């Protein structure tokens, strides 16, 4: 059975530093025999404010971060899923995008984040992603990989079951949630939501996450705890993170791997069939 690898990093405003982190993870995933590496949301950079985010953003055709990952994918014959930023035509906001780079180093799939993280948490962070990020226009259909049919989503999309149900309806076997979850929301909901999405769609869920403080001012901090969940809702791979109860630390620059067993997935779907009452409520397409 093929292995999926999740990689955990702490992106800063330095694209060079972030590329170096990812190159090390690619090497580790290749040595582990993984058939694909999944990297977090915003792997290219995490900015301190909206204006910095826009100024750091580059087209994928010239971004040294993206070009570097394409070279590594080709070098190791390893597909890479990675969250990055792309410019918008107006150049007043950016796109929060998930790319699929195939084993030849070509970008063959992209998805733009649908739901933006606009929150003000008591005694926690206030973040308004919509100040600098443009909402995605649509759910992209699943695409074929050596691991199975992949349905791409990003971070805050996790809180909405509709996109994952639509992707399952379209044939997805694996759902992606590359993320940069805050610590308060991560502690409260991260694992619960990932397992819920896996159980209700009877799919693998792969969620590579950012971890730790992203700037010297310590104004942005991510929860970590990257994980892979199987279609029965079992966590089959996990890294550490902030406030980790198992003593694993932050696991910055580490990978975890899990087998993707599509026969087991089909067994779950066959033995616990989800027969929807679309005569009572509408099908999510």
Contact 54, 92 (CB under 8 A): yes
**10 carries an active-site annotation:** no
**C-alpha to C-alpha distances, 78 to 7, 70, 145, 150, 211, nearest whole angstrom:** 13, 10, 11, 16, 24
Predicted pLDDT at 119 = 79
Contact 132, 53 (CB under 8 A): yes
| Residue 22 predicted with pLDDT over 90 | yes
Res. 124 pLDDT band, cuts 50 70 90? low
- The structure's pTM equals 0.97
The catalytic residue among 10, 22, 57, 155 is 155
**242 carries an active-site annotation:** no
Predicted pLDDT at 128 = 86
H-run or E-run covering 4: strand 3-8
The catalytic residue among 22, 41, 149, 238 is 41
| Residue 121 predicted with pLDDT over 80 | no
**113 carries an active-site annotation:** yes
The catalytic residue among 10, 35, 93, 113 is 113
Average pLDDT for 211-219: 93
The domain segmentation of the chain, as residue ranges, is: 3-271
Domain 3-271 indexed as CATH 3.60.110.10: yes
| Residue 120 predicted with pLDDT over 70 | yes
């Amino acid at each position: 059975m093929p292995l999926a690898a999740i990689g955990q990093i702490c992106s800063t405003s330095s694209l060079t530093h972030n590329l170096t982190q990812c190159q090390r993870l690619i090497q580790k995933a290749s040595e582990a025999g993984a058939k694909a590496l999944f990297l977090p949301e915003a792997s290219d950079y995490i900015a301190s404010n909206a204006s910095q985010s826009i100024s750091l953003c580059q087209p994928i055709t010239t971004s040294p971060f993206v070009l570097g990952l394409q070279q590594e994918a080709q070098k190791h014959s390893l597909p890479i899923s990675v969250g990055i930023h792309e410019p918008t035509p107006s150049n007043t906001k950016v796109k929060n995008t998930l790319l699929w780079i195939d084993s030849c180093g070509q970008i063959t799939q992209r998805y733009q984040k649908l739901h933006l993280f606009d929150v003000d948490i008591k005694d926690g962070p206030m973040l308004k992603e919509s100040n600098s990020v443009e909402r995605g226009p649509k759910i992209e259909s699943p695409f074929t990989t050596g691991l199975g049919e992949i349905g791409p989503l990003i971070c805050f999309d996790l809180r909405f079951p509709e996109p994952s149900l639509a992707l399952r309806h379209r044939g997805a076997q694996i759902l992606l949630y590359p993320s940069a979850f805050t610590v308060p929301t991560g502690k409260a909901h991260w694992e619960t939501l990932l397992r819920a999405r896996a159980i209700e769609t009877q799919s693998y869920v792969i969620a590579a996450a950012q971890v730790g403080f992203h700037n010297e001012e310590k104004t942005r901090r991510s929860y970590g705890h990257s994980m892979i969940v199987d279609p029965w809702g079992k966590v089959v791979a996990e890294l550490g993170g902030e406030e980790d109860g198992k003593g694993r630390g932050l696991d910055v620059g580490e990978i975890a791997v899990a087998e993707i067993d599509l026969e087991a997935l089909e067994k779950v779907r066959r033995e616990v069939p989800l027969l929807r009452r679309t005569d009572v409520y509408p099908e999510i397409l």
